[in-house]
Protein backbone atom coordinates (compact mmCIF):
# COMPACT_ATOMS: atom_id res chain seq x y z
CA UNK A 1 0.00 0.00 0.00
CA UNK A 2 1.40 3.37 -0.97
CA UNK A 3 1.97 6.36 1.27
CA UNK A 4 -1.19 8.03 2.48
CA UNK A 5 -2.68 10.12 5.25
CA UNK A 6 -1.37 9.21 8.71
CA UNK A 7 -4.31 9.10 11.13
CA UNK A 8 -2.52 7.61 14.16
CA UNK A 9 1.06 8.35 15.19
CA UNK A 10 2.69 6.69 18.21
CA UNK A 11 6.00 8.15 19.39
CA UNK A 12 8.28 6.93 22.18
CA UNK A 13 5.54 4.98 23.97
CA UNK A 14 6.50 3.37 27.28
CA UNK A 15 4.04 1.27 29.31
CA UNK A 16 4.77 -0.28 32.70
CA UNK A 17 3.01 -2.63 35.12
CA UNK A 18 4.28 -2.32 38.71
CA UNK A 19 4.04 -5.73 40.41
CA UNK A 20 5.30 -7.26 43.67
CA UNK A 21 8.67 -8.37 42.25
CA UNK A 22 9.42 -5.22 40.25
CA UNK A 23 8.10 -3.34 37.23
CA UNK A 24 7.14 -5.06 33.98
CA UNK A 25 8.40 -2.90 31.11
CA UNK A 26 5.65 -3.94 28.72
CA UNK A 27 6.39 -1.39 25.98
CA UNK A 28 9.79 0.24 25.55
CA UNK A 29 9.92 3.22 23.21
CA UNK A 30 7.40 2.12 20.57
CA UNK A 31 7.14 4.27 17.40
CA UNK A 32 4.47 3.46 14.82
CA UNK A 33 2.38 5.31 12.22
CA UNK A 34 -0.96 4.02 10.91
CA UNK A 35 -2.11 5.15 7.45
CA UNK A 36 -5.77 5.69 6.58
CA UNK A 37 -7.40 2.74 4.83
CA UNK A 38 -4.68 0.19 5.56
CA UNK A 39 -4.74 -3.08 7.48
CA UNK A 40 -1.72 -3.13 9.79
CA UNK A 41 -0.85 -6.59 11.07
CA UNK A 42 0.72 -6.65 14.54
CA UNK A 43 2.52 -9.96 15.13
CA UNK A 44 4.90 -11.60 17.59
CA UNK A 45 5.09 -14.22 20.33
CA UNK A 46 2.75 -14.18 23.32
CA UNK A 47 3.85 -11.52 25.79
CA UNK A 48 5.65 -9.36 23.23
CA UNK A 49 3.36 -6.34 23.83
CA UNK A 50 0.88 -6.60 20.93
CA UNK A 51 -2.30 -6.43 23.00
CA UNK A 52 -0.77 -3.93 25.42
CA UNK A 53 -0.18 -1.61 22.47
CA UNK A 54 -3.78 -2.04 21.31
CA UNK A 55 -5.20 -1.35 24.77
CA UNK A 56 -2.90 1.65 25.17
CA UNK A 57 -4.28 3.26 22.00
CA UNK A 58 -7.81 3.26 23.48
CA UNK A 59 -6.59 3.83 27.07
CA UNK A 60 -8.03 0.56 28.38
CA UNK A 61 -4.95 -0.70 30.22
CA UNK A 62 -5.92 -2.67 33.30
CA UNK A 63 -4.53 -1.32 36.58
CA UNK A 64 -1.75 -1.17 37.61
CA UNK A 65 -0.74 -0.71 33.95
CA UNK A 66 0.11 2.86 33.01
CA UNK A 67 1.56 4.90 30.18
CA UNK A 68 4.73 6.43 31.63
CA UNK A 69 5.85 8.45 28.61
CA UNK A 70 5.27 8.97 24.91
CA UNK A 71 2.45 10.19 22.68
CA UNK A 72 -0.49 8.55 20.89
CA UNK A 73 -1.67 11.17 18.41
CA UNK A 74 -4.99 10.52 16.69
CA UNK A 75 -5.44 13.18 14.02
CA UNK A 76 -3.15 15.53 15.94
CA UNK A 77 -4.75 15.00 19.37
CA UNK A 78 -2.76 13.19 22.06
CA UNK A 79 -4.96 10.35 23.33
CA UNK A 80 -2.42 9.57 26.08
CA UNK A 81 -3.00 13.01 27.63
CA UNK A 82 -6.80 13.24 27.35
CA UNK A 83 -9.15 13.40 30.35
CA UNK A 84 -12.00 10.87 30.54
CA UNK A 85 -14.64 13.21 29.09
CA UNK A 86 -12.55 14.00 26.03
CA UNK A 87 -11.51 10.36 25.70
CA UNK A 88 -15.13 9.19 25.47
CA UNK A 89 -15.57 11.33 22.37
CA UNK A 90 -12.82 9.30 20.69
CA UNK A 91 -13.09 5.80 22.15
CA UNK A 92 -15.98 3.89 20.62
CA UNK A 93 -16.90 6.70 18.24
CA UNK A 94 -13.67 7.25 16.28
CA UNK A 95 -11.50 4.36 17.51
CA UNK A 96 -13.17 1.05 18.41
CA UNK A 97 -11.86 -2.30 19.59
CA UNK A 98 -12.90 -5.93 19.09
CA UNK A 99 -11.76 -8.07 22.00
CA UNK A 100 -10.26 -11.53 21.98
CA UNK A 101 -13.01 -13.63 23.62
CA UNK A 102 -16.57 -12.48 22.88
CA UNK A 103 -18.16 -14.79 25.46
CA UNK A 104 -16.35 -13.08 28.33
CA UNK A 105 -16.70 -9.61 26.76
CA UNK A 106 -20.49 -9.80 26.42
CA UNK A 107 -22.70 -9.50 29.52
CA UNK A 108 -24.63 -12.79 29.92
CA UNK A 109 -27.53 -10.94 31.60
CA UNK A 110 -28.01 -8.55 28.66
CA UNK A 111 -29.79 -9.45 25.44
CA UNK A 112 -28.03 -8.64 22.18
CA UNK A 113 -30.40 -5.70 21.71
CA UNK A 114 -29.59 -4.35 25.17
CA UNK A 115 -25.87 -4.47 24.36
CA UNK A 116 -26.44 -2.36 21.27
CA UNK A 117 -28.78 0.11 23.00
CA UNK A 118 -26.28 0.65 25.82
CA UNK A 119 -23.40 1.15 23.38
CA UNK A 120 -25.28 3.58 21.13
CA UNK A 121 -26.85 5.67 23.91
CA UNK A 122 -23.60 5.87 25.87
CA UNK A 123 -22.11 7.76 22.94
CA UNK A 124 -25.22 9.63 21.83
CA UNK A 125 -27.95 10.28 24.42
CA UNK A 126 -30.11 11.94 21.77
CA UNK A 127 -30.79 8.54 20.16
CA UNK A 128 -34.02 6.99 21.45
CA UNK A 129 -34.19 3.35 22.52
CA UNK A 130 -36.43 2.46 19.54
CA UNK A 131 -34.04 4.17 17.11
CA UNK A 132 -31.07 2.40 18.74
CA UNK A 133 -32.81 -0.97 18.26
CA UNK A 134 -33.49 -0.09 14.64
CA UNK A 135 -29.78 0.75 14.15
CA UNK A 136 -28.86 -2.52 15.88
CA UNK A 137 -31.13 -4.54 13.59
CA UNK A 138 -29.65 -2.90 10.51
CA UNK A 139 -26.14 -3.68 11.76
CA UNK A 140 -27.01 -7.33 12.50
CA UNK A 141 -28.46 -7.82 9.03
CA UNK A 142 -25.33 -6.32 7.46
CA UNK A 143 -23.39 -9.02 9.35
CA UNK A 144 -25.64 -11.83 8.11
CA UNK A 145 -27.66 -12.23 11.34
CA UNK A 146 -31.45 -11.83 11.49
CA UNK A 147 -32.69 -8.81 13.44
CA UNK A 148 -35.13 -11.20 15.13
CA UNK A 149 -32.21 -12.37 17.30
CA UNK A 150 -31.90 -9.01 19.08
CA UNK A 151 -33.92 -10.49 21.96
CA UNK A 152 -31.59 -13.46 22.42
CA UNK A 153 -28.66 -13.74 24.83
CA UNK A 154 -24.93 -14.40 24.20
CA UNK A 155 -25.12 -18.05 25.28
CA UNK A 156 -27.71 -18.69 22.55
CA UNK A 157 -25.23 -17.69 19.84
CA UNK A 158 -22.45 -19.72 18.27
CA UNK A 159 -18.84 -18.59 18.65
CA UNK A 160 -18.78 -17.15 15.15
CA UNK A 161 -22.03 -15.25 15.74
CA UNK A 162 -20.77 -13.83 19.04
CA UNK A 163 -17.67 -12.53 17.29
CA UNK A 164 -19.89 -10.93 14.63
CA UNK A 165 -21.89 -9.30 17.42
CA UNK A 166 -18.65 -7.89 18.86
CA UNK A 167 -17.76 -6.44 15.45
CA UNK A 168 -21.26 -4.99 15.16
CA UNK A 169 -20.95 -3.30 18.55
CA UNK A 170 -17.59 -1.85 17.48
CA UNK A 171 -18.90 -0.58 14.14
CA UNK A 172 -22.36 0.67 15.08
CA UNK A 173 -21.03 4.20 15.78
CA UNK A 174 -19.13 4.17 12.45
CA UNK A 175 -15.55 4.52 13.78
CA UNK A 176 -12.61 5.32 11.53
CA UNK A 177 -10.08 2.99 13.18
CA UNK A 178 -10.80 -0.58 14.31
CA UNK A 179 -8.40 -2.50 16.57
CA UNK A 180 -9.03 -6.26 16.39
CA UNK A 181 -7.26 -8.09 19.23
CA UNK A 182 -6.79 -11.77 18.32
CA UNK A 183 -10.37 -11.86 16.93
CA UNK A 184 -10.18 -15.47 15.65
CA UNK A 185 -8.61 -17.17 18.70
CA UNK A 186 -11.84 -18.91 19.81
CA UNK A 187 -12.96 -19.89 16.29
CA UNK A 188 -12.44 -23.10 14.32
CA UNK A 189 -10.61 -22.83 11.00
CA UNK A 190 -13.75 -22.77 8.82
CA UNK A 191 -15.45 -20.02 10.85
CA UNK A 192 -12.09 -18.22 11.10
CA UNK A 193 -11.82 -18.06 7.31
CA UNK A 194 -15.40 -16.75 7.04
CA UNK A 195 -14.68 -14.15 9.70
CA UNK A 196 -11.57 -12.88 7.92
CA UNK A 197 -13.54 -12.58 4.67
CA UNK A 198 -16.20 -10.62 6.55
CA UNK A 199 -13.59 -8.33 8.10
CA UNK A 200 -12.17 -7.50 4.67
CA UNK A 201 -15.67 -6.87 3.29
CA UNK A 202 -16.52 -4.57 6.22
CA UNK A 203 -13.26 -2.68 5.80
CA UNK A 204 -14.31 -1.67 2.31
CA UNK A 205 -17.94 -1.02 3.18
CA UNK A 206 -17.26 1.19 6.21
CA UNK A 207 -13.99 2.74 4.95
CA UNK A 208 -12.13 1.31 7.94
CA UNK A 209 -8.51 1.42 8.94
CA UNK A 210 -7.66 -1.78 10.83
CA UNK A 211 -4.98 -2.83 13.30
CA UNK A 212 -5.09 -6.65 13.33
CA UNK A 213 -3.34 -8.08 16.40
CA UNK A 214 -2.54 -11.76 15.97
CA UNK A 215 0.06 -14.48 16.39
CA UNK A 216 -1.27 -16.16 13.22
CA UNK A 217 0.97 -15.20 10.31
CA UNK A 218 -1.48 -16.78 7.88
CA UNK A 219 -4.12 -14.23 8.89
CA UNK A 220 -1.85 -11.25 8.27
CA UNK A 221 -0.64 -12.75 4.99
CA UNK A 222 -4.27 -12.83 3.86
CA UNK A 223 -5.37 -9.37 5.02
CA UNK A 224 -2.53 -7.00 5.93
CA UNK A 225 -1.01 -4.32 3.76
CA UNK A 226 1.85 -3.79 6.21
CA UNK A 227 3.16 -5.89 9.10
CA UNK A 228 4.72 -4.77 12.37
CA UNK A 229 6.81 -7.39 14.18
CA UNK A 230 7.15 -6.99 17.96
CA UNK A 231 9.52 -8.64 20.39
CA UNK A 232 10.05 -8.00 24.09
CA UNK A 233 7.99 -4.81 24.18
CA UNK A 234 9.77 -3.29 21.17
CA UNK A 235 9.15 -3.05 17.43
CA UNK A 236 11.89 -4.86 15.53
CA UNK A 237 10.62 -4.58 11.95
CA UNK A 238 7.89 -2.88 9.89
CA UNK A 239 7.42 -3.72 6.21
CA UNK A 240 4.86 -4.15 3.45
CA UNK A 241 3.40 -7.64 3.84
CA UNK A 242 4.76 -9.05 0.59
CA UNK A 243 8.25 -7.68 1.19
CA UNK A 244 8.38 -9.07 4.72
CA UNK A 245 7.40 -12.58 3.65
CA UNK A 246 9.76 -12.55 0.66
CA UNK A 247 12.76 -11.00 2.41
CA UNK A 248 12.63 -10.58 6.20
CA UNK A 249 15.45 -8.40 7.55
CA UNK A 250 15.50 -8.86 11.32
CA UNK A 251 16.82 -12.21 12.65
CA UNK A 252 13.71 -12.55 14.83
CA UNK A 253 11.42 -12.11 11.82
CA UNK A 254 13.47 -14.72 9.95
CA UNK A 255 13.03 -17.15 12.83
CA UNK A 256 9.33 -16.40 13.11
CA UNK A 257 8.72 -17.13 9.43
CA UNK A 258 10.97 -20.20 9.45
CA UNK A 259 8.93 -21.71 12.29
CA UNK A 260 5.73 -21.81 10.21
CA UNK A 261 4.88 -25.47 9.48
CA UNK A 262 5.57 -26.29 5.81
CA UNK A 263 2.68 -28.13 4.16
CA UNK A 264 4.97 -29.39 1.38
CA UNK A 265 6.91 -31.35 4.03
CA UNK A 266 10.20 -30.59 2.30
CA UNK A 267 11.89 -29.96 5.66
CA UNK A 268 12.56 -33.01 7.84
CA UNK A 269 11.98 -31.13 11.11
CA UNK A 270 10.01 -28.15 12.38
CA UNK A 271 12.31 -25.14 12.80
CA UNK A 272 12.29 -23.61 16.29
CA UNK A 273 14.00 -20.63 17.91
CA UNK A 274 16.25 -21.50 20.87
CA UNK A 275 15.71 -19.87 24.25
CA UNK A 276 12.68 -18.10 25.73
CA UNK A 277 11.12 -14.64 25.46
CA UNK A 278 12.82 -12.07 27.71
CA UNK A 279 11.94 -11.32 31.32
CA UNK A 280 10.40 -7.85 31.02
CA UNK A 281 10.92 -7.12 34.71
CA UNK A 282 14.66 -7.32 34.02
CA UNK A 283 15.05 -7.13 30.21
CA UNK A 284 18.47 -7.78 28.62
CA UNK A 285 20.80 -4.84 28.07
CA UNK A 286 21.28 -3.75 24.47
CA UNK A 287 19.12 -5.46 21.87
CA UNK A 288 16.36 -7.32 23.67
CA UNK A 289 16.66 -10.21 21.17
CA UNK A 290 20.41 -10.77 21.46
CA UNK A 291 20.27 -13.76 23.91
CA UNK A 292 18.41 -15.77 21.23
CA UNK A 293 19.95 -14.24 18.11
CA UNK A 294 22.20 -16.49 15.98
CA UNK A 295 24.00 -13.40 14.62
CA UNK A 296 24.49 -11.40 17.83
CA UNK A 297 27.61 -9.22 18.03
CA UNK A 298 29.29 -7.51 20.99
CA UNK A 299 27.52 -4.22 20.28
CA UNK A 300 24.15 -6.04 20.44
CA UNK A 301 24.85 -6.94 24.07
CA UNK A 302 25.77 -3.38 25.02
CA UNK A 303 23.54 -0.95 23.14
CA UNK A 304 19.98 -0.85 21.88
CA UNK A 305 19.98 -0.74 18.06
CA UNK A 306 18.65 2.35 16.28
CA UNK A 307 15.78 2.10 13.81
CA UNK A 308 16.76 2.58 10.18
CA UNK A 309 14.19 3.24 7.47
CA UNK A 310 14.05 3.17 3.71
CA UNK A 311 12.02 1.85 0.79
CA UNK A 312 8.91 1.71 2.99
CA UNK A 313 10.60 -0.52 5.57
CA UNK A 314 11.96 -0.06 9.08
CA UNK A 315 14.28 -2.41 10.98
CA UNK A 316 15.95 -2.16 14.40
CA UNK A 317 19.10 -4.24 14.18
CA UNK A 318 22.85 -3.58 14.36
CA UNK A 319 23.28 -5.62 11.17
CA UNK A 320 21.97 -2.66 9.18
CA UNK A 321 23.17 0.91 8.86
CA UNK A 322 20.59 1.38 6.11
CA UNK A 323 17.76 -0.71 4.67
CA UNK A 324 19.34 -2.90 1.98
Cis-peptide, bond into residue 28, ω within 30° of zero: no
Domains held by the chain: number:
1
**Share above pLDDT 70 across residues of the chain, in percent, rounded to a whole number:** 97
Rg (CA), the chain: 21
- The parent domain of residue 269 ranges over 6-94+175-316
Question: Can you name the residues that pair with 67 across neighbouring β-strands?
Answer: 15
User: Which SS3 state, helix, strand or coil, does residue 13 take?
Assistant: strand
Residue 64 lies in a domain: yes
| Secondary element (H or E) of residue 250 | none
Q: Is residue 288 part of a domain?
A: yes
Q: Is residue 225 part of a domain?
A: yes
In a domain, 258, yes or no: yes
The answer to whether position 233 is within a domain reads yes
Q: Classify residue 242: in a domain, yes or no.
A: yes
- Please report which helix (H) or strand (E) contains residue 200, including its range: helix 189-205
Domain for residue 292, yes or no?
yes
pLDDT digits (tens, 9 = 90+) for 176-214: 999 999 888 767 888 888 888 888 998 999 999 999 999
What's this model's pTM, rounded to 2 decimal places?
0.93
Rounded-to-5 percentages of helix, strand, coil across the chain: 35, 25, 40
Report the CATH number that the domain containing residue 194 is assigned in CATH: 3.40.50.300
Specify the DSSP element, H or E, that contains 109. Answer: none
Count of beta carbons in the 10 Å neighbourhood of residue 29: 17
**pLDDT digit string, tens, across residues 27-81:** 999 999 999 999 999 999 999 999 999 999 999 999 999 999 999 999 999 999 9
Which run of H or of E encompasses 28?
strand 22-35
Residue 121 domain flag: no
Amino acid sequence: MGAGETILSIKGLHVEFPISIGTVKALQGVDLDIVKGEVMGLVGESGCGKSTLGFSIVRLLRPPGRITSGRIDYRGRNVAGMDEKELLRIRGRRIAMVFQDPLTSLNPLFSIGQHFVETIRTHDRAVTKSRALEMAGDMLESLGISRQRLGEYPHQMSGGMRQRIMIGLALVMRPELLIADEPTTALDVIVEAQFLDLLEELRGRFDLTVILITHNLGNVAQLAHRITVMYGGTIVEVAPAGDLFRRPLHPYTEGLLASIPNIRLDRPRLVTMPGSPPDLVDPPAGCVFHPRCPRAMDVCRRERPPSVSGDGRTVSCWLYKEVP
